[in-house]
Amino acid sequence: MGDSLLKKEFRADDLQRIRNLITGHYGNSTRSQIGYTHREEFHKEGDVWEENGKTWTIKNGLKQSVSKLSGIRQALQMPLVCPKCGKALNTPLDKKMYPIHGFCFDCVIKMEEDLRKAGLYDAYEKQLMSGNIENFVQELKDRIQHISDMKIEYSSDQGELEDWGGMSREIIESLEQWANLLTEKLGNA
Ligand SMILES: [Zn+2]
């Protein structure tokens, strides 16, 4: 006793144990009970989680199993052939390009050639690298519209003469096709 006891720092449950000894409540628990209550996890729109062996998500404010959402599955699916050229989508580069562009790697190369001719390649590369291909598609559409507007002006001024802003009609038509394919892909994503 004496000094050693005085120096000891008592914890709250030590004091309680002493009180219990004094009052004769030997069996009493000295610790306050920590309650473990069932905690419902909170999920918000778009969350995907596992529960009871199923994958769930919240869509339009409703909890539903992912298997019911064909949209998610469709987004992951890749067709057998390129929608632009009909070539089989089977190389690793095709598998990398299709989810981004909606067509095969060979078509991506052709599109990039057309974009270079139209002076749009740098803008495309920049937006692609920063993951904003939808911004680029809008830019591409605006450019096509602008060139088309110019064409109308020239043909009304100069009769039959067609001027597509220094580009061939073929390239403009090709650019329109790329823009449509990209838009379709973004719409499905
Ligand atoms: Zn293709």
Q: What is the pLDDT of residues 111-143, one digit of tens each?
A: 999 999 889 999 999 999 988 888 999 999 998
186 C-alpha to center of ligand 1: Å?
17
170 C-alpha to center of ligand 1: Å?
18
111 C-alpha to center of ligand 1: Å?
10
183 C-alpha to center of ligand 1: Å?
16
104 C-alpha to center of ligand 1: Å?
4
For every residue of 82-106, DSSP letters joined together read -TTT--B--SHHHHHHHHHHSS-HH
Look-up: residue for tokens 């006891």? 5
CA gap 98, 108 in Å, rounded: 9
DSSP state letter for 42: P
Give the count of beta carbons closer than 10 Å to the beta carbon of residue 108. 22
Look-up: residue for tokens 């989810």? 99
107 C-alpha to center of ligand 1: Å?
4
Three-state secondary-structure class, residue 188: helix
Q: Is the pTM of this model over 0.85?
A: no
For residues 167 and 147, is the Cβ–Cβ distance under 8 A? yes
112 C-alpha to center of ligand 1: Å?
13
CA gap 67, 133 in Å, rounded: 29
Q: What is the pLDDT of residues 21-75, one digit of tens each?
A: 665 555 445 444 455 444 456 788 777 777 777 778 787 788 877 765 555 555 5
